[in-house]
Amino acid sequence: MRRSVNAATVAAVGIIILADLIVANPALGSVAGFLTGLVVFLAAAAAIAGSLSLVVRHGSRFAHGIDRVGSLAVLVGMALVLLPGLAPGSSGADAPAVRWVVAALLAPLVAAIFALLFPLLLAAARRGLRLRGRETALMLTGAAAVLVLLLPIGGEPGVWLASVAGWVQAVPVAAVFRGLLLGVAAIGAVTAARILLGADGIDD
């Protein structure tokens, strides 16, 4: 019963917002606007609830002595970002202290983690070749081909590489990507139809 109410609510909201997109009607527009505002409010509430849940969970782990260092790192990290912005007299997200935390801590940390992907992927490729040689070799041949095609070389060889790269992107990569998108859309439509027709609970 609860599943049907949820499904009916989602379907009704979706249909109203879709109808607002198709039909120009002020009353329908105001209902759709109200529902969109509600979704925005729910998203903000979910973000705050998620943060509070994280604080409670790691506070409890710290108090009970479970992975104290990890939990302390999470709590201190959250405090470092939140306190300068929420402190009395602070101008919020654009306060100098918050800007410093973002520029001097967050951005370099995220960029460093992202940069680590390069050596980690290479190390993973080496391990993958030892564990699943054939499949990994196929994947790495593709990666090596892409690297060669994107080499920043000038002159005639550079133009030739760029034109081959353009063909690879426009034909095989685009075909696979569109196939994936069509597949995802078809599965989404089927799942939505199952929910609307009440067939979703049969497998449960």
Partner 1 sequence: MTEPVRRPGRRRAWVGLAPLALVALVAAASALPQLPFLALGGGPASVAGDDLHVAIGGLPDQPLVLVDMDPDLGTYPEIRYATRAALADLFAVGARVAMVSFSPEGRAIAIAEIARLRDAGAGSDRLVDLGFRSGSEAALVQLAGQPIDRDVNGQASPILDALHARGAGLGGFDLALVIGGGEMSPRTWIEQVEPRVPGLAVAAVTPTFLLPEMQPYRDAGQLVALAGTLPEGVAYGTSVAAGGTTSGLGRVPERPPSDAAILVGMLVALGVLIESGAGSLLSGRRGPRGHRS
Residues near partner 1, by CB under 8 A: 17, 21, 29, 32-33, 36-37, 39-41, 43-44, 47, 93-94, 98-99, 102-103, 106-107, 110-111, 113-114, 118-119, 122, 125-127, 129-131, 133, 137, 140-141, 143-144, 147-148, 150-155, 158-159, 162-163, 166, 169-170, 173-174, 177-178
Longest dimension (CA), the chain: 68
Shortest gap between Cβ of 9 and partner 1 (angstroms)? 16
Interior angle at CA 78, CA 76 and CA 79, nearest 5 = 60
Interior angle at CA 36, CA 33 and CA 38, nearest 5 = 110
Q: Answer whether 153's CB lies under 8 Å from 164's CB.
A: no
Q: Quick one: 174 or 186, whose CB is closer to partner 1? A: 174
The residues, any chain, with a CB within 8 Å of residue 102's CB and separated by 6 or more, are none
Shortest gap between Cβ of 64 and partner 1 (angstroms)? 30
Shortest gap between Cβ of 108 and partner 1 (angstroms)? 9
Shortest gap between Cβ of 117 and partner 1 (angstroms)? 9
Q: Answer whether 185's CB lies under 8 Å from 172's CB.
A: no
Q: Quick one: 8 or 144, whose CB is closer to partner 1? A: 144
Q: Quick one: 80 or 162, whose CB is closer to partner 1? A: 162
Gap between the Cα atoms of 186 and 163, Å rounded? 33
Q: Quick one: 61 or 106, whose CB is closer to partner 1? A: 106
Q: Quick one: 92 or 201, whose CB is closer to partner 1? A: 92
**CA nearest 54: which of 43, 42, 62?**
62
Q: Quick one: 40 or 66, whose CB is closer to partner 1? A: 40
Residue at 2: amino acid letter: R
Shortest gap between Cβ of 172 and partner 1 (angstroms)? 11
Say how many residues make up the chain.
204
Shortest gap between Cβ of 111 and partner 1 (angstroms)? 6
The residues, any chain, with a CB within 8 Å of residue 186's CB and separated by 6 or more, are none
